[in-house]
Chain A
């Protein structure tokens, strides 16, 4: 299984770089993943990552986009509660890129 090295420790990831065990996550893992994509994580990025982690803890799955945009809109202002804003932050898509940085597995099924 592929691994990602962060701070001298190896973390198991899947073929597309998603962390295998979400409980192993720490902020430096997100920073490392972002750096590999040529992205600097701003406060706005972290807001999304933190929301995703909190949501996952409660629900054991990443939120659907509808929930993500609404909740981001609530905490960060209505002008940010839309997919356009999220795609500006995470060009490869909030569901994929942001979830990966947050250490969550990707959803599967009829999606």
Chain B
């Protein structure tokens, strides 16, 4: 595995483009900037083409002989199927408004990480094969042949885009570069060219319902350990239910919350909140993943992996679905699920049993984001909160790309934080809300072997965090996404050491005054509560 350069080395970024024109500059696949190739066992599990042992650093990627034909046929199919794809291929005027908006370009200086040029990698092949001008004029019209080297370049750069869509906000035509990356990845997958960090979790999800491959008894076991910790902190014993038919609400969250710190504290937050409300809800060990690594692979696989959510809601006979803190999960649920796996006409328009609020915004999907649910509880005075319990924290909020640009959730998490913490500070407005910077490793790039590009991509966000650390002494970055919780932990440790990462519902749980609780002396992480330090 490549050694990751130190921050002072990595922050010396060379923005000078190479001397040769981009088409004449083949991609150099540098270690530390790519993920290992998909393993045959995972592609076989998913019934994906060309399962075989292959190594990225090898010349020969063991492709079928007619690989060009497969790609061009695939491209034609996608152009026929998605009008958006054809439009995005045709209308770019290469104005460059997107160029410096990408976290990977800012952090690497590599011109092929400018969204316009990343798209051009695909567009050039489109022109050469699907437009008259390109066929006749070739390079003059910006067209090029699909060669082995072009294919490798696609692979390298389409797995250096996190599909965050920040560039799209600035595009005067509204070209969605994430969709271009998605099309690029879809084509690569026709040849078995996925990364293993994506195909592994996707295969787990297909076989066991979640990315980590947690078995039903493992899910229950993990939650039991969390419940033990909750009892130690609050004195309250919580007994949630699993796969319970007739529950009013099905709760679905990313499996990262069930396994990895600091997501586990967010998960404890859900458990405590639902208990305090006496919510009639159930966990599912079948629909045990809200996230969807299929979404980073192909439309068909994403749809396949997502189908279990409605299927389980129907099987259990719940009225509606509540979803946890996750990013890309919400892009899928909010923008795709209804047409992929719906209509969910067996469910009801979600209505909070505590406040009576009807979530009209979720009337087609029947699924509510927990930040909306909790903000509504607070607004209606249903929670007793002691903000001072979070007084050790100076909090800022990182908007997740998918919940902000994908569904416009800006106010709810901020409203919750302001009601659970006394010290909240916004990052620079050019880096928040719809202009938020990616954590740096979304869309399945959060592996271990591509740490250099992850840290490069994480630089713009970390830089904005550093600004509020220096100005206000911020020590905690809140977010509503499991990938954020995993990724920011690593990138902030690298760029802004000493800055913590938390889910919003961890903050809620720490502030939440529960009926019958013992006087709390520690927060969920076992750290002394402000004002109780040194007491036994």
State the A residues within 8 Å of B (CB).
1, 14-16, 58-61, 64-67, 70, 106-111
Query: How many Å lie between the Cα of A106 and that of B204 in the bound state?
Result: 13
Residues of B within 8 A of A65 (CB): 261
* Beta-carbon contact of A66 and B261 below 8 Å: yes
Residues of B within 8 A of A108 (CB): 197, 200-201, 204, 211-212
* 12 A-B pairs (CB sep. < 8 Å): A1-B53, A14-B36, A15-B449, A16-B448, A58-B217, A66-B229, A66-B264, A109-B201, A109-B212, A110-B211, A110-B255, A110-B326
Considering the complex, give the chain B residue whose CB is closest to the CB of A65.
B261
Over the window 422-464 of chain B, the binary record of Cβ atoms lying under 8 Å from chain A Cβ atoms (1 yes, 0 no) is: 0000000000000000000000001011000000000000000
Given A60-B218, A64-B259, does the pair A111, B486 have CB atoms closer than 8 Å?
Answer: yes
Given A59-B215, A60-B215, A61-B218, does the pair A110, B482 have CB atoms closer than 8 Å?
Answer: yes
Residues of B within 8 A of A67 (CB): 221-222, 225
Considering the complex, give the chain B residue whose CB is closest to the CB of A71.
B225
Residues of A within 8 A of B263 (CB): 110
Counting contact residues on chain B (CB < 8 A from A), the size range is 35 or more
Query: How many Å lie between the Cα of A58 and that of B217 in the bound state?
Result: 9
Any chain A CB within 8 A of the CB of B483? yes
B149 to chain A, nearest CB (A): 23
When the two chains form the complex, which single residue of B1, B218, B221, B483 contacts A110, counting CB atoms closer than 8 Å? B483
When the two chains form the complex, which single residue of A16, A106, A109 contacts B211, counting CB atoms closer than 8 Å? A109
Residues of A within 8 A of B33 (CB): none
Given A15-B449, A61-B213, does the pair A110, B229 have CB atoms closer than 8 Å?
Answer: no
Any chain A CB within 8 A of the CB of B291? yes
* Beta-carbon contact of A109 and B226 below 8 Å: no
Among the interface residues A60, A64, A66, which one has the most CB atoms of the partner chain B within 10 A? Answer: A64
Query: How many Å lie between the Cα of A1 and that of B446 in the bound state?
Result: 23
Considering the complex, give the chain B residue whose CB is closest to the CB of A83.
B261
Residues of B within 8 A of A70 (CB): 225, 228
Query: How many Å lie between the Cα of A107 and that of B448 in the bound state?
Result: 11
Residues of A within 8 A of B261 (CB): 64-66
* Beta-carbon contact of B217 and A59 below 8 Å: yes
For the complex of A and B, the 8 pairs showing the least CB-CB separation, nearest first, are: A109-B211, A110-B256, A110-B482, A111-B260, A59-B218, A109-B201, A108-B200, A109-B212
Residues of B within 8 A of A66 (CB): 225-226, 229, 261, 264
Query: How many Å lie between the Cα of A65 and that of B525 in the bound state?
Result: 13
A10 to chain B, nearest CB (A): 15
Among the interface residues A16, A60, A109, which one has the most CB atoms of the partner chain B within 10 A? Answer: A109
Any chain A CB within 8 A of the CB of B128? no
Residues of B within 8 A of A106 (CB): 448
Chain B contacts with A in 153-193, Cβ cutoff 8 A: none
Any chain A CB within 8 A of the CB of B283? no
Considering the complex, give the chain B residue whose CB is closest to the CB of A16.
B1
Among the interface residues A58, A65, A70, A111, which one has the most CB atoms of the partner chain B within 10 A? Answer: A111
Given A61-B213, A66-B225, does the pair A111, B259 have CB atoms closer than 8 Å?
Answer: yes
Query: How many Å lie between the Cα of A107 and that of B446 in the bound state?
Result: 12
Residues of A within 8 A of B212 (CB): 61, 107-109, 111
B406 to chain A, nearest CB (A): 17
Any chain A CB within 8 A of the CB of B104? no
Residues of B within 8 A of A107 (CB): 212, 259-260
Considering the complex, give the chain A residue whose CB is closest to the CB of B218.
A59
* Beta-carbon contact of A109 and B449 below 8 Å: no
Any chain A CB within 8 A of the CB of B214? yes
Query: How many Å lie between the Cα of A18 and that of B217 in the bound state?
Result: 25
Query: How many Å lie between the Cα of A109 and that of B211 in the bound state?
Result: 5
Query: How many Å lie between the Cα of A107 and that of B212 in the bound state?
Result: 6
Query: How many Å lie between the Cα of A16 and that of B451 in the bound state?
Result: 14
* Beta-carbon contact of A60 and B213 below 8 Å: yes
Any chain A CB within 8 A of the CB of B397? no
Residues of B within 8 A of A1 (CB): 53
Query: How many Å lie between the Cα of A64 and that of B259 in the bound state?
Result: 6
Residues of A within 8 A of B254 (CB): 110
Any chain A CB within 8 A of the CB of B210? yes
Any chain A CB within 8 A of the CB of B293? yes
Residues of A within 8 A of B213 (CB): 60-61
When the two chains form the complex, which single residue of A58, A64, A109 contacts B204, counting CB atoms closer than 8 Å? A109
When the two chains form the complex, which single residue of A15, A64, A109 contacts B291, counting CB atoms closer than 8 Å? A109
* Beta-carbon contact of B225 and A110 below 8 Å: no
Among the interface residues B218, B229, B483, which one has the most CB atoms of the partner chain A within 10 A? Answer: B218
Residues of B within 8 A of A110 (CB): 211, 254-256, 260, 263, 291, 326, 446, 482-483, 485-486
* Beta-carbon contact of A16 and B449 below 8 Å: yes
* Beta-carbon contact of B264 and A109 below 8 Å: no
Residues of A within 8 A of B293 (CB): 109
A22 to chain B, nearest CB (A): 13
Residues of A within 8 A of B256 (CB): 109-111
- A59-B217, A108-B212, A110-B254 are known contacts; what are 7 more A-B pairs with Cβ within 8 Å? A16-B448, A58-B217, A64-B259, A66-B261, A109-B291, A110-B291, A111-B256
Considering the complex, give the chain A residue whose CB is closest to the CB of B261.
A65
